[in-house]
């Protein structure tokens, strides 16, 4: 499967006026396979402690979601802006636990630098699974959560669920 060709069908990155956050969905080639980059949040974080998430954060004045996603990726894992070689498009903006906090996912092809360095204030660890592992439906579980189907994918470092899992499931639909 040509991942990059399949992801060319992504729509442009949306920038709704009520967007408050943006995340980078970083993908890269690794010896003929494709990997995706997640982080885990430290347990001391005020919001979403221990969650598996994409690098991202609050949109600052004068920024669009792409600029925010790139800046936050630098702050959280030291991904240089010039390592983002192509913005592939965006996934649907969504909310997490607070419906007033709209998050814009920005899907990007990156050139992975020799080292990614987690900022200990915001990142406990960096997870870089194979996209093929996430495409394996037998590794996912789901359950009803307040009338919604909630998806879960377990890593040694933590569990992918909630808004981030929703983003990943949407991304995977482009690859099926």
Domains located in the chain, CATH noted: 3-173 (3.90.79.10)
The pLDDT tens digits of the residues spanning 3-59 come to 999 999 999 999 999 899 999 999 999 999 999 999 998 777 676 666 899 999 999
List, in sequence order, every residue forming a beta bridge with 23; answer none if it has no partner. Answer: 56, 105
The pLDDT tens digits of the residues spanning 131-158 come to 999 999 999 999 988 888 899 999 999 9
Entry pTM? 0.94
* Strand ranges for the chain from DSSP E: 19-30, 33-36, 38-40, 52-53, 56-58, 84-90, 94-95, 102-110, 125-127, 140-145, 148-155, 158-160
SS3 at position 146: coil
Host H or E run for residue 135: helix 131-135
CB 152 within 8 A of CB 139: no
């Amino acid at each position: 499967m040509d991942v990059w060709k399949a992801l060319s069908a992504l729509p442009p990155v949306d920038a709704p006026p009520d967007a408050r956050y943006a995340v980078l969905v970083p993908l890269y080639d690794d010896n003929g396979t494709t990997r995706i980059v997640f982080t885990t949040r430290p347990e001391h974080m005020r919001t979403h402690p221990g969650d598996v998430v994409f690098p991202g954060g609050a949109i600052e004045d004068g920024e669009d979601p792409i600029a925010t996603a790139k800046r936050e990726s630098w702050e959280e894992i030291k991904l240089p802006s010039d390592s983002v070689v192509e913005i592939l498009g965006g996934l649907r903006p969504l909310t997490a636990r607070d419906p007033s906090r709209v998050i814009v996912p920005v899907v990007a092809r990156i050139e992975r630098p020799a080292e990614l360095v987690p900022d200990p204030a915001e990142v406990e660890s960096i997870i870089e699974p194979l996209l093929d592992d996430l495409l394996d439906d037998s590794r996912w579980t789901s359950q009803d959560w307040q009338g919604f189907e909630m998806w879960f994918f377990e890593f040694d470092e933590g569990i992918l669920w909630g808004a981030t899992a929703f983003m990943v499931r949407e991304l995977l639909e482009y690859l099926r």
